Chains A and B, each alone.
Chain A
Amino acid sequence: MISIENLSKRYGATTVVDGVSMHIPRNSLTVIVGTSGSGKSTLLRMVNRLVEPTSGRVLLDGSDTRAEPAHLLRRRIGYAIQGHGLFPHRTVAENIATVPRLMGWDAARIAARVTELLEAFALDPNTFAGQFPHQLSGGQQQRVGVARALAAEPQLLLMDEPFGALDPIIRAKAQDDLLDIRRRFGTTIVLVTHDMDEAFRLGDHVAVMSCGRLLQYGPPAQLLTRPADPLVSRMTGLADRAIRLLSLSTAGEAALPGSVEGPEVPASATLRDVLSELMWRGVDAARVTEADGTARGHLTVAAILARGRP
């Protein structure tokens, strides 16, 4: 969907992004992670041309993003940022309607879309549509910010540290919501964060950046088992890499055939959670069941531990 080809950004003598090339497939959730000053936000902002590249190009569905005026390009791409950037003088409904209005949708379609999005983000339209941003809590403001970014049904959603301003509990909820939204709308998402836990939790592809260069780009497990650079293993954390690896697979994926005596665990639980549960109960095996109650197989402590090795 997005091809980034040898993209660089220089300000005078400083190179902020240095020859980055990557391909982001449709329907993926790609997380760009790096320390502050690594160029990750600049890379993201070159995709919707809030920052114009010094050299290289970005192809969106095969066509160069410079083929149309920047503001028209941006209307097709959702954009959500840290601190949400909601318009303080407009109501929640008006905020969400921003891009559809720019695109000239008729009023009935806009109203229907606003209601649909408010409901998707668990915000009662009757209560929230007419409120102003300052009347909402931080978590609600953040949800409205994402709803606004999704309003014109973009194929692609760019998010720059969208959960940076939230406290840990609301943050975990917002991350779950994002995964739900992605399933529901099928949007391709590129998210920038400095938080490696967030990257592993959300991303099915993770790109690690440092000093403007792309160090490694691949599935999260690959970053742990085959780090391309010592800095990548430093950033992903050497001490708990086995545990991190376990948190990347679900019980359903690792289940062994056959049934055993033992507690029931859902197929969607991560191996890390299953291991924790088995340790807590002091048993060796668990039965894995689907959400609808059908048996999926079983898991043993030994089988889980084997999954924590490269």
Chain B
Amino acid sequence: MRAPGVAGILRAVALGLLVAFLIWPQRFAPLFAPLTQYGAPPIYDQGNLLALALAQLGTVCCAAVASTVVAVSLGILVTRPSGAEFLPLSRTLVNVGQTFPPVAVLAVAVPLVGFGLKPTLIALFAYGLLPIFENTLVGLKTCPPAVLEAASGMGMSARQRLMAVELPLAMPLILEGIRVSLVISVGTATIGSTVAAKGLGEVIIAGLLSNNNAFILQGALVTGLMAVLLYEALGGLERRFCGTVRIE
């Protein structure tokens, strides 16, 4: 139906470069060599880049699943007549999650749960709630009233109406929220390395400590590319599964 277009080709090239770099990083050594001084290694050599990238993605996905479950459930709860009074409270909680800097969350979480993956997950979880929650709210609140009235008028129970009508109609916006949340998380997850969670932050921190710009650039580029490609991939999924709702 659609030709791949310039954007499609760019995406494919970016994906190809990312995968190639993660699998054969040493082949790219000549590119990064000009950024190093005094014969320092041009490619990160204290760990496997592919493993670090996958670890970071895994962390982000775990946190995103938890954020999604909590934010969507909360969004559903506060749009039901019985839960409407919890809306201001939920908004406040979710907003605090967003305004509290992840670094500060790490600082608070480490004494409570120790170093490693756990504090990072907590920080990413809290940071990712807001976009999903707000989009779920908007999605559920903007269902056309005539459609909801018809659903009830035909004899759907409140639960059937939610599952068969409201959630499918809100789905494009909910997915959009998840997408934004994921992209923010991929970037933010690098700070997890300050509390010993595995991830590409390690590469950046190593670069900062040894004054090796090549390391810093590698960590940042891989993280950035992962974020952009993830955003595009989710956008594609969204168009594919929610195409008909969008046109409306």
A contacts, CB < 8 Å to B = 48, 50, 71-76, 79, 81-89, 98-99, 102, 132-134, 145, 148-149, 158
Contact = CB atoms under 8 A, between A and B. Distances in A.
Main secondary structure of the interface of B (DSSP, over half): helix
Nearest to B143: A88
Given A50-B153, A71-B155, A86-B150, 12 more contacts: A50-B149, A74-B154, A79-B154, A83-B146, A85-B148, A85-B149, A88-B147, A88-B248, A89-B245, A102-B154, A102-B160, A133-B248
A50 B149 CA distance: 9
B155 to A, nearest CB: 3
B157 interface: yes
Contact of B244 (A71, A82, A89): A89
Interface string B151-170: 11111110010000100110
Chain B: interface residue count, which band? Answer: 20 to 34
A97 B153 CA distance: 14
A88 B153 CA distance: 16
Interface of B: 144, 146-157, 160, 165, 168-169, 244-245, 247-248
Given A86-B147, A87-B147, A88-B244, A99 B168 contact: no
Given A81-B149, A83-B146, A102-B160, A88 B169 contact: yes
A79 B148 CA distance: 13
B157 A132 contact: no
Nearest to A98: B154
Nearest to A148: B154
B153 A81 contact: yes
A72 B149 CA distance: 15
A71 B157 contact: yes
B147 A85 contact: yes
B165 A87 contact: yes
A73 B154 CA distance: 9
A75 B150 contact: no
Q: Determine which residue in A82, A88, A145, A149 has the highest number of CB atoms from chain B within 10 A of its CB, and name it.
A: A88
Contacts of A99: 154-155
Nearest to A45: B153
Contacts of A81: 146, 149-150, 153
22 contacts: A50-B152, A50-B153, A71-B160, A74-B153, A79-B150, A79-B153, A82-B146, A84-B146, A85-B144, A85-B151, A87-B147, A87-B150, A87-B151, A87-B165, A88-B245, A89-B244, A89-B245, A89-B248, A102-B154, A132-B247, A134-B247, A134-B248
Contacts of B147: 85-88
Contacts of A76: 155
B120 to A, nearest CB: 37
B155 A75 contact: yes
A211 B219 CA distance: 71
A224 to B, nearest CB: 33
A73 B147 CA distance: 19
